[in-house]
Amino acid sequence: MKTIYFAGGCFWGIQKFFDQFDGIISTIVGYANGEKKNPSYEEVCSDSGHAETVKVVYDESVMSTMELLRLFFMVIDPTSVNRQGGDTGIQYRTGIYYEDGSLLPEILDIMKEEQEKYDLPIVVEVKPLWNFFTAEEYHQKYLDKNPGGYCHISKALMKMGVK
């Protein structure tokens, strides 16, 4: 099993999107790479510096790291600063965070590959994970509990997996 962290705007949609694929062992939404320890959602929304992030644990024998990274880029605008869809603020920045440095070469490869598709620079953060705090329970699997909830990811993309 491997673990990677994705910040791609609102974490509700990113979690639901990844949950649909075989090879995904678990997902947890939380707050990453900010200064305050264990922030609340309200603090994150008040510029605590954290990004809404999804911890993705996956079986690389079923879903490769490169496949996972390509999926992530399908559901974000990598040229948008602190904004995805209707959500704006530093907590909605895009990022790929890692604890395992062996993931970095593939992350850098996908960044180069994706940059070739855009005239504007890609602004996705690529950084080691400094910290990750699990979000409040009501945020976990939010779109499963609230199917009509807002999401910047199209409904068609939420139905492309095999789970």
Amino acid at 163: K
151 flagged as catalytic: no
| Phi-psi category of residue 65: left, alpha or beta, with phi > 0 → left and psi -120 to 50 → alpha | alpha
Task: Map residue 88 onto helix, strand or coil.
Answer: strand
Q: Per the structure block, which two tokens stand in for 35?
A: 């200064």
**Residue of 10, 14, 143, 153 marked catalytic:** 10
What positions carry a catalytic annotation?
A: 10
